[in-house]
């Protein structure tokens, strides 16, 4: 019997949500849903009429309007692969989004297993973020200092050559704006989930392996925890 896992990762930019989500995806066969990645895919699509507006919002460090974001995530969650379980990385980021997500999950009788807050020191975030790059083909994340590609031109995972990309909002000014947005608009969802008894915190400053282990421990958690889904046949 397998059990679908459904979790939310919350944390400021650079907390390591994307890295951990990729690891959990690979460890448990889950779907990694990153709102930021979905927006970046739309920005890259020359036929998307909203692409340029989205780019301006992402570059400013502000949030995309809730209505657009909620619709995009609702469509993604309806895709068949999400039955395997999912990690929501960067959604919800506002109370309105958290409430909309609850309504979506209730409609499909789905329960979340955990909402995990990754706590990090603000002064380390700029350092972490400014070294980030990803493979433009398979989206594997790297870092100049903490996780460089073995060959500066080649993706370790898919072998793509000269496809590394850096995000245009990974600069000091945009990071400061993204942090402000996080504290003003996203941290209010923490008491929302705490009130439901779902919030778990972990030290996002620990090593990548330690953070993964901490998430695994949360997921193993007490077997009768209220958020657990019934086993899937």
> Rounded to the nearest 5 degrees, what angle is found at the Cα of 48, between the Cα atoms of 159 and 158?
5
**19 is a contact residue toward ligand AMP (CB under 6 A):** no
178 part of the active site: yes
**42 is a contact residue toward ligand AMP (CB under 6 A):** no
Cβ 95 to ligand AMP shortest distance, Å = 12
Cβ 20 to ligand AMP shortest distance, Å = 13
What lies within 8 Å, CB to CB, of 18 at 6+ separation is 34, 36, 89, 141
**97 is a contact residue toward ligand AMP (CB under 6 A):** yes
The residue from 39, 142, 164, 193 that contacts ligand AMP (CB under 6 A) is: 39
Burial 101-128 (b: 16+ CB within 10 A, else e): beeeeeeeebebbbbbbbebeeeebbeb
Cβ atoms < 10 Å from Cβ of 25: 18
Per the CB < 8 A criterion, the answer to whether 103 and 92 are in contact is no
**12 is a contact residue toward ligand AMP (CB under 6 A):** no
**128 is a contact residue toward ligand AMP (CB under 6 A):** no
3-state secondary structure (DSSP) of residue 13: coil
Looking at the Cβ atoms of 62 and 126, the one nearer to ligand AMP is 62
**57 is a contact residue toward ligand AMP (CB under 6 A):** yes
**93 is a contact residue toward ligand AMP (CB under 6 A):** yes
What lies within 8 Å, CB to CB, of 70 at 6+ separation is 96, 97, 100, 101
Looking at the Cβ atoms of 30 and 129, the one nearer to ligand AMP is 129
Of residues 99, 141, 90, 140, the one with CA closest to residue 118? 90
**64 is a contact residue toward ligand AMP (CB under 6 A):** yes
42 part of the active site: no
Stretch that binds ligand AMP, among 20-28, 30-38, 120-128, 141-149 (CB under 6 A): 30-38
**86 is a contact residue toward ligand AMP (CB under 6 A):** no
β-pair type (141-143, 132-135): antiparallel
**63 is a contact residue toward ligand AMP (CB under 6 A):** yes
Burial 57-95 (b: 16+ CB within 10 A, else e): bbbebebbebebbbebbeebbeeeebebbbbbbbbbbbe
Looking at the Cβ atoms of 57 and 118, the one nearer to ligand AMP is 57
The residue from 16, 61, 85, 204 that contacts ligand AMP (CB under 6 A) is: 61
Which residues in this chain contact ligand AMP in the complex, by CB under 6 A? 13, 34-36, 39, 57-58, 61-64, 69, 90-93, 97, 169, 178
């Amino acid at each position: 019997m397998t059990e679908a896992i459904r979790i939310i990762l919350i944390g400021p930019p650079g907390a390591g949500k994307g890295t951990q989500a990729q690891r959990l995806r690979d460890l448990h066969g889950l779907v990694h849903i990153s709102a930021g990645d979905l927006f970046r895919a739309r920005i890259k699509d020359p036929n998307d009429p909203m692409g340029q507006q989205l780019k301006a919002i992402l570059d400013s460090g502000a949030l995309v309007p809730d209505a657009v974001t909620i619709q995009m995530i609702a469509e993604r969650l309806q895709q068949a692969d999400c039955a395997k379980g999912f990690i929501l990385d960067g959604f919800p980021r506002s109370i309105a989004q958290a409430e909309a997500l609850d309504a979506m999950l209730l409609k499909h009788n789905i329960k979340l297993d955990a909402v995990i807050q990754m706590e990090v020191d603000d002064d380390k975030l700029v350092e972490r973020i400014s070294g980030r790059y990803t493979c433009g083909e398979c989206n594997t994340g790297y870092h100049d200092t903490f996780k460089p590609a073995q060959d500066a031109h080649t993706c370790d995972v898919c072998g793509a050559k000269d496809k590394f990309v850096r995000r245009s909002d990974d600069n000091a000014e945009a990071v400061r704006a993204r942090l402000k947005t996080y504290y003003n608009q996203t941290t209010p969802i923490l008491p929302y989930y705490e009130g439901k008894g779902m919030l778990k915190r972990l030290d996002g400053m620990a090593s990548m392996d330690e953070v993964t282990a901490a998430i695994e421990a949360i997921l193993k958690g007490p077997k009768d925890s209220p958020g657990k889904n019934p086993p899937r046949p």
